[in-house]
Amino acid sequence: MSLSIDLKGKRAFVAGVADDGGFGFAIAKALAEAGATVCVGTWPPALNIFETLLRRGKIDASLALEGGGTLEFERIVPLDAEYDVLTDAPAEIRENRRYKDRGDFSIAGAAALFEAEYGSPCFDVVVHSLANGPEVKKPLLETSRSGYLSAMSASAYSFVSLVSRFGPLMRPGGSFLCLSYLAAERVVPGYGGGMSSAKAALESDTRVLAFEAGRKWGHRVNAISAGPYASRAASAIGLIGRMIDHYEKNAPIVQPLQAEEVGRAAAFLCSPLASAITGTTLHVDHGYHAMAVPADLGEASEAEG
C-alpha cells in the first residue's frame, strides 16, 4: 500500500461549510487534494452569501489546490442540523425567507436528497463541522436551560443524527469525523453557554458511535480536538484573540495553528492509512493539550533561583 493519502474515487460530505475561513473548508479542500469528490452542507441563512461568493469568484484564491486544479463542490445542500426531519422545524423557521425556498433542510432531508441523486451507498467520508451556542458568551452559571440544550442539540446531538442517517449511505469502511475543542476536557473561561458540555458530550458520543457504527456497518468514527483558530464563527466567542495569544505562548511548538494543519490531519483520519483508528480524539494543537502549567513558569523559577 502506498503511504500517500489517496482518496481517489471517494465521495465526502462536509457538513458545516459557509465560507473559506474555517476548519470545515480546510478539511473539504484537503479531502479534494487527496482526490475525493466533495459535497457540502451549509446553514440556510448563510447559503445565499456562500453561493454568491462562489459565483462572483470572491474566494477563487482559496479554492486553488496544491499541485494545480480548483476545489469544486459536487453539490451544496441546505442543512440546519438542529432538525432531524423537516417537521421538527417550527413554522416560523420553515416560512422564513432564507429557508422556505430551500426544500428539506433537515439532516434526513440531506440524506434523502443524496440518496435520490447518487443512489446508495454513495459516500465514503462524512465530516461534522458544526457548532452553535446561542449563549456562548455567558458563564455556565448564567446559562439558561434553553440555551444549554440548544448548544447540546446543535453541537453534539447533530453528530449522532448525522451518523444515524448517513451510516446506511456509506460504502464499506466509511469514516465519520467531528471537530472538538480542549474545553471538553479542561476549563476555558469565556467559552460558556454549555458549549464545553456539548464538546464533552461530542467526544463521549464519538467513542460510543465508534462501537455502534463499527459493529453495525463497519464504519470508523473519530474526532479532532483542534487548537483555537480565528474563524468567523469562533469570533463570536469574543475572547478568541486572547485565547490564541495564550495558546501560542504556551504550546510546545510556538506558532499559530493553521486551518490547513487540521485539514491534513482530517484527510489522514479519513483515509485507508488510518484503517485501524476509531473512537479516538486526536489533538491537533501544536501540543498545547500536553501542558499542565504556563510555559514561562519554569523560566520564572530559574530566574528566581
- pLDDT (0 to 100) of residue 294: 85
Structural contact between residues 181 and 201, judged by C-beta atoms closer than 8 angstroms: no
Answer whether 285's CB lies under 8 Å from 256's CB: no
Decide if 254 is inside a domain.
yes
- Domain-located, residue 5: no
How many structural domains does the chain have? 1
**pTM across the whole model:** 0.94
- b/e map of 4-39 (b: 16 or more CB within 10 Å)? ebebeebbbbbbbbbbbbbbbbbbbbbbbbbebbbb
Catalytic pick among 99, 157, 191, 288: 191
What one-letter code names the amino acid at 251?
A
Calpha distance 210→175 (Å, rounded): 10
- Residue 251 CA to residue 228 CA, distance in Å, equals 11
What span, in angstroms and rounded, lies between the C-alpha atoms of 55 and 53? 6
Rg (CA), the chain: 19
Write the single-letter amino acid at 230: A
Distance CA 152, CA 201 (A): 8
Domain of 165: which CATH number?
Answer: 3.40.50.720
Within-domain flag for 164: yes
Q: Per the structure block, which three cell numbers stand in for 18?
A: 459557509
Q: Please, what are the averages of pLDDT over each run of 10 residues along the chain (305 residues)?
A: 86 97 97 98 97 97 93 98 98 96 97 98 98 95 98 98 98 98 94 96 98 98 91 64 84 92 98 98 96 75 50
Outline where DSSP puts E strands in 89-205.
123-128, 170-180
Is residue 1, in this structure, part of any structural domain at all? no
Whether residue 148 lies in the annotated active site: no
Taking the C-alpha atoms of residue 231 and residue 169, their distance in angstroms, rounded to an integer, is: 30
CB atoms within 10 A of CB 232: 12
Return the DSSP state at 227.
Answer: P
Sort strands 73-78 and 170-180 into parallel, antiparallel or unpaired: unpaired
Cis peptide before 121 (omega within 30 of 0): yes
Spatial neighbors of 141 by CB under 8 A, at least 6 apart, are none
Question: Between the CA of residue 74 and those of 13, 36, 38, 58, 141, what are the distances in Å?
Answer: 10, 10, 6, 19, 44
| Domain membership of residue 233 as a residue range | 11-286
Q: Which of 99, 148, 157, 181 is catalytic?
A: 181
How far apart CA 132 and CA 120 sit, in angstroms, is 30
- Domain assignment present for residue 304? The answer is no
* pLDDT, tens only, 113-172: 999 999 999 999 999 999 999 999 999 999 999 999 999 999 999 999 999 999 999 999
Rounded Cα distance, 89 and 101, in Å:
14
> 126 near 162, Cβ under 8 Å?
yes
Identify whether 179 is part of a domain. Answer: yes
pLDDT for residue 296 = 78
Residue 102: other Cβ atoms inside 10 A:
18
Q: Is residue 2 part of a domain?
A: no
* 191 catalytically annotated: yes
End-to-end CA distance of the chain: 54
**Whole-number pLDDT of residue 233:** 62
> In whole angstroms, what is the distance from residue 1 CA to residue 199 CA?
35
C-alpha cell at 149: 440544550
| CB-count burial class (<10 Å; 0-12, 13-18, 19+) for 189 | exposed
The answer as to whether 156 is a domain residue is yes
Predicted confidence at residue 232, as pLDDT, reads 62
